């Protein structure tokens, strides 16, 4: 079920009313109700994949108990290994099996020894990467003695499948979200209003900015051979804003919807295109994922507690794996490698991002970082490495030319959407509250709704990160 669909427009108010009328005073019944509606929400896409999320939940619930009760470290590690094997095994089969098999076959073909083998025809379950990482963090935190396992199976299943953030995050930690299912929440009008304001901003980002920009990006990238460097450069800039507004829009809606039920989800984005370094960018972009990889992968490899050379390897490996997390394609691996290599260069040059800069220096750094990020986005958006290299070659030819007539209309609305994005993100960067004053709040509500209805794209377009 998509947040920008008619189905959700009907589903959400019904769930909201039932929740606050019938389940506000009984925690156990409330959690069971949230579990049921979360499974309905997920099963709306394809009910057959409900068994996968149930299997992941069951596995980590019981193994978490075993890890906690184990007396010796080797037994704890054995149980954790079982949890990792099952969870990552499911993820590998559905997401990466065909990728590695195809790469293996292509390698032998290049060596002159072709292998006649076809991969499995599997549909990638929506959100599998997100809820897998969420259950893994639960088991790992218990293994590291940072968390005690819950004995309430309903509460744990609800934590894993909580519908606002189930299919595209934020990737919540059990230490933050799980205790919230033990709390009793009162109907808080101000909190609900703040939640709905986030939903409104999220919808604005998705249907007005991201989906409008997508019309131009898709038209250019899907026919890149017919476009010049100017239109490809503009499409890359548009895609950078598109993917940010698409994903941060989803996060805003998820956080806002959860807030209307009394729950607090972590902030997932913090004006990433105002970053003054690549390291700063990853403190602002997809925060729940970047911190997950830092805590559970980078530190596990040794983090900074090793030689300089090993630190560089750990950093590069972390970003390469995070790229592969996004998709089973070499383009995502290169995307991750670009981010890893640029951070290694920054560290080697000792380019600090935690000091004060002059306005001009800060602006220059922001522009440089933004273009490095956009360069990496080319690999992220391209269908193949060859397509990415063709696009890069055309952009670096830097031939000034007018856009083709077939994309002029998309470009016009795209520029309007880009302007709206700049206003929203500048306000957030400067910590200016859009809905701060009661006197102007209703006019701002009306203005946003009018903008959404007048230039929004209502094709129920899927959120980009659903494919990951």
Active site residues: 326
Task: Report which of 466, 81, 424, 392 is spatially closest to residue 245, judged by C-alpha positions.
Answer: 424
Q: For 356, phi and psi rounded to 5 degrees?
A: -80, 140
On the CB side of 390, how many CA atoms lie within 13 Å of its CA?
Answer: 16
Give the 3-state secondary structure of the chain. CCCCCHHHHHHHHHHHHHHHHHCCCCHHHHHHHHHHHHHHHHHHHHHHHHHHHHHHHHHHHHHHHHHHHCCCHHHHHHHHHHHHHHHHHHHHHHHHHHHHHHHHHHHHHHCCCCCCCCCCCCCCCCCHHHHHHHHHHHHHHHHCCCCCCCCCHHHHHHHHHCHHHCCCCCCCCHHHHHHHHHCCCCCCHHHHHHHHHHHHHHHHHHHHHHHHHHHHHHHHHCCHHHCCHHHHHHHHHHHHHHHHHHHHHHHHHHHHHHHHCCCCCCCCCCCHHHCCCHHHHHHHCCHHHHHHHHHHHHHHHCCCCCCHHHHHHHHHHHHHHHHHHHCCCHHHHHHHHHHHHHHHHHHHHCCCCCCCCCHHHHHHHHHHHHHHHHHHHHHHHCCCHHHHHHHHHHHHHCCCCCCCHHHHHHHHHHHHHHHHHHHHHHHHHCCCCCCCCHHHHHHHHHHHHHHHHHHCCCCCCCCHHHHC
* CB atoms closer than 10 angstroms to residue 387: 18
User: How far apart are alpha carbons 180 and 293 in whole angstroms?
Assistant: 24
Per-residue DSSP letter, 180: G
Give the 3-state secondary structure of 48-94. HHHHHHHHHHHHHHHHHHHHHHCCCHHHHHHHHHHHHHHHHHHHHHH
């Amino acid at each position: 079920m998509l947040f920008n669909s008619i189905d959700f427009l009907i589903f959400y108010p019904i769930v909201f009313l039932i929740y606050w009328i019938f389940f506000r005073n009984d925690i156990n019944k409330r959690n069971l109700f949230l579990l049921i509606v979360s499974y309905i929400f997920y099963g709306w896409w394809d009910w057959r994949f409900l068994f996968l999320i149930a299997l992941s939940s069951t596995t980590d619930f019981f193994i978490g108990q075993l890890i906690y009760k184990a007396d010796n470290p080797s037994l704890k590690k054995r149980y954790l290994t079982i949890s990792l094997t099952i969870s990552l095994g499911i993820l590998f089969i559905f997401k990466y099996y065909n990728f590695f098999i195809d790469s293996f076959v292509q390698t032998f073909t290049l060596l002159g020894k072709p292998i006649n083998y076809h991969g499995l025809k599997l549909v990638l379950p929506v959100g599998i990467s997100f809820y897998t990482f969420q259950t893994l963090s639960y088991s790992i935190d218990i293994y590291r003695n940072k968390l005690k396992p819950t004995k309430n199976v309903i509460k744990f299943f609800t934590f894993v499948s909580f519908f606002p953030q189930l299919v595209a995050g934020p990737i919540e930690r059990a230490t933050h979200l799980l205790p919230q299912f033990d709390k009793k929440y009162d109907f808080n009008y101000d909190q609900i209003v703040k939640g709905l304001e986030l939903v409104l901003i999220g919808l604005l980002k998705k249907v007005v900015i991201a989906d409008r920009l997508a019309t131009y990006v898709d038209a250019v990238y899907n026919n890149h051979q017919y476009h010049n460097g100017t239109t490809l450069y503009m499409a890359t800039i548009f895609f950078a804003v598109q993917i940010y507004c698409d994903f941060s829009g989803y996060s805003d809606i998820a956080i806002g919807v959860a807030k209307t039920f009394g729950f607090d989800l972590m902030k997932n984005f913090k004006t990433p295109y105002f970053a003054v370094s690549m390291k700063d960018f990853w403190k602002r972009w997809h925060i729940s994922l970047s911190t997950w990889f830092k805590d559970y992968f980078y530190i596990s490899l040794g983090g900074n507690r090793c030689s300089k050379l090993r630190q560089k390897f750990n950093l590069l490996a972390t970003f390469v794996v995070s790229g592969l997390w996004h998709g089973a394609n070499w383009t995502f691996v290169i995307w991750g490698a670009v981010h890893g290599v640029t951070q290694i260069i920054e560290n080697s040059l000792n380019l600090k991002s935690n000091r004060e800069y002059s306005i001009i220096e800060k602006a220059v750094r922001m522009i440089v970082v933004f273009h490095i990020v956009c360069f990496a986005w080319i690999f992220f958006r391209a269908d193949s490495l060859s397509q990415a290299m063709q696009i890069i070659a055309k952009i670096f030819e830097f031939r000034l030319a007018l856009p083709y007539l077939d994309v002029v209309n998309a470009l016009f609305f795209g520029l309007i959407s880009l302007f709206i994005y700049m206003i929203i993100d500048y306000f957030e960067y400067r910590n200016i509250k859009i809905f701060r004053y009661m006197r102007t709040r209703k006019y701002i509500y009306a203005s946003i709704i009018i903008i959404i209805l007048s230039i929004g794209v209502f094709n129920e377009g899927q959120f980009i990160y659903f494919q990951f």
